[in-house]
């Protein structure tokens, strides 16, 4: 008898990670049954995905778009709803596997709701872990949830880190392509436009993470993400520039062995890994072609030009919720840059200035609840906005 299909939901199905996930699931209609899909504004794509996957529920976060989604899915069996509470409802519908692929802190409540089911959550939404790492990991333990990393670097670490040998790990090394401006001088960085910053050399991704990759704030967020996911102190998490994006991370052990995972720069590989885990899924994604000469370079990152990598180190022993301030200031700065209201080289300085002022205005301790996380986020966001544009 054929096994019952695995029930799955995708939070943020219209984004870059979401669309790759939809493609993988659509290739195996017998194996997966789609419970819920969500988006914020993209009604057209959400409706098309719901039809293609015969989804049980489609939710649009923007409540003003309810009628549009209802009309687009008229005559189909898919249930339709809208608004922030409906996003939470989607995350709480029972499913064996839930992809968390909303961008930014907006993904935090839906992700925590998904974790509360006690099944498997594939985590792409790194900002939720950056802002609420201790609370999220406590919820994972409390509910017996399997949290699988989707970020290619963390997925690579997950694949090669042997938890039985945890005390023998010297460090993990996350690789970074360096983004589109790896060789830019400080003067050149000052002049880059949103269009240039959105053109990543090796990965195809959503707008926010593309800008984060260009400033290397993405790697700073990933260092915090790795600290919580693998329960390691920050000083055991290192970063190396690797422009080819073939080696996604390394785990170095005390005997000098370095284990790594390699694959072409295609998000379908780590997504498929989480979708099928602990089994493997055949995909038609890009392949790392070993039938040609390949160069693999590792470089030390230049902390003068990419200051986010040095800035993140002040989070290591922080007890004031500074990671929330870092994330909030960055979300504000990136939105301003994309709107043409901030220069590229003034993104990280805004984050630095909010982090410098944070100890004075922080409520003073690590947030005890998710409501606290949003209070801290609001304070940091207001501070970042009050700094004006640059």
Ligand X SMILES: NC(=O)c1ccc[n+]([C@@H]2O[C@H](COP(=O)([O-])OP(=O)(O)OC[C@H]3O[C@@H](n4cnc5c(N)ncnc54)[C@H](OP(=O)(O)O)[C@@H]3O)[C@@H](O)[C@H]2O)c1
Q: Is residue 178 involved in binding ligand X (CB under 6 A)?
A: no
Angular region, 104: left φ>0, alpha ψ -120 to 50, beta rest: left
Q: Which of residues 256-315 bind ligand X (CB under 6 A)?
A: 267
Q: How far is the CB of 319 from ligand X (least distance, A)?
A: 25
Residue 34 and residue 59 in contact, taking contact as beta carbons nearer than 8 Å = no
Among 40, 49, 175, 177, binds ligand X (CB under 6 A): 40
Cα–Cα distance between 194 and 347 in angstroms, integer?
12
| Shortest distance, position 101 Cβ to ligand X, whole Å | 5
- Cis, bond preceding 278 (omega within 30 deg of 0): yes
Instruction: Return the number of the residue (126 or 320) whose C-beta is nearest ligand X.
Output: 126
CB 380 within 8 Å of CB 355: no
Count of residues interacting with ligand X (CB under 6 A) = 30
Min dist. Cβ of residue 367 to ligand X (A): 20
Rounded Cα distance between 123 and 241, Å, is 24
| CB closer to ligand X out of 7 and 20 | 20
Is 125 an interacting residue with respect to ligand X (CB under 6 A)? yes
The yes or no reply on residue 133 touching ligand X (CB under 6 A) is: no
154 binds ligand X (CB under 6 A): no
Contact with ligand X (CB under 6 A): which of 7, 8, 9, 14?
Answer: 14
Nearest approach in angstroms of CB 283 to ligand X is 15
**Edge-to-edge strands, sheet with 32-39:** 79-82, 57-60, 32-39, 6-11, 97-100, 120-123, 146-149
Eight-class DSSP state of 299? B
The answer to whether residue 151 forms part of the interface with ligand X (CB under 6 A) is yes
Residue 153 found at the interface with ligand X (CB under 6 A): no
> Measured between alpha carbons, how far is 283 from 299 in angstroms, rounded to an integer?
31
Integer Cα distance of 303 and 285 in angstroms: 34
Listed in sequence order, the residues at least 6 apart from 60 whose beta carbon sits closer than 8 Å to its beta carbon are 38, 39, 40, 41, 43, 46, 66, 68, 69, 80, 82, 86
Asked if residue 161 binds ligand X (CB under 6 A), the reply is: no
Binding mask 45-84 for ligand X (x = CB under 6 A): ----------------x-----------------------
Where along the sequence are the contacts to ligand X (CB under 6 A)? Answer: 12-18, 39-42, 61, 87, 101-103, 106, 124-127, 150-151, 203, 205-209, 267
């Amino acid at each position: 008898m054929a096994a019952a299909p695995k029930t799955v939901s995708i939070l943020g199905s219209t984004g870059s990670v979401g669309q790759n996930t939809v493609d993988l699931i659509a290739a195996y209609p017998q194996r997966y049954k789609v419970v819920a899909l969500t988006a914020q504004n993209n009604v057209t794509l959400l409706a098309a995905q719901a039809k293609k996957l015969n989804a049980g529920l489609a939710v649009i976060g923007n409540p003003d778009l309810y009628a549009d989604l209802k009309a687009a899915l008229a005559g189909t069996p898919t249930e339709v709803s809208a608004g922030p509470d409906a996003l939470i409802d989607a995350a709480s519908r029972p499913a064996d596997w839930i992809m968390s692929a909303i961008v930014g802190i907006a993904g935090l409540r839906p992700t925590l709701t998904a974790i509360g089911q006690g099944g498997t959550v594939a985590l792409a939404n790194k900002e939720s872990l950056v802002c609420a790492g201790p609370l999220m990991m406590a919820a994972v333990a409390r509910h017996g949830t399997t949290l699988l990393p989707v970020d290619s670097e963390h997925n690579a670490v997950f694949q090669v880190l042997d938890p039985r040998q945890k005390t023998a790990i010297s460090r993990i090394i996350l690789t970074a392509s360096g983004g589109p401006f790896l060789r830019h001088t400080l003067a050149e960085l000052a002049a880059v436009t949103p269009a240039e910053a959105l053109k990543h050399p090796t990965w195809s991704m959503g707008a926010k993470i593309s800008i984060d990759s260009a400033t290397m704030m993405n790697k700073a967020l990933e260092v915090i993400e790795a600290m919580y996911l693998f329960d390691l102190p920050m000083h055991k998490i290192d970063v190396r520039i690797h422009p080819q994006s073939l080696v996604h991370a390394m785990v170095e052990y005390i005997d000098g062995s370095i284990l790594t995972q390699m694959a072409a720069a295609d998000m379908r590989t780590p997504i498929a890994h989480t979708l099928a885990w602990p089994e493997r899924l055949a995909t038609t994604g890009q392949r790392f072609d070993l039938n040609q000469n390949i160069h693999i370079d590792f470089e030390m990152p230049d902390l003068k030009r990419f200051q986010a990598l040095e800035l993140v180190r002040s989070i290591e022993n922080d007890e004031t919720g500074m990671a929330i301030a870092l994330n909030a200031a960055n979300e504000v700065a990136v939105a301003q840059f994309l709107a043409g209201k901030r220069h590229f080289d003034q993104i990280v300085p805004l984050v630095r200035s909010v982090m410098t002022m944070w100890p004075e205005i922080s409520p003073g301790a690590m947030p005890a609840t998710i409501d606290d996380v949003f209070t801290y986020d609001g304070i940091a966001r207001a501070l970042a906005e009050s700094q004006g544009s640059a």
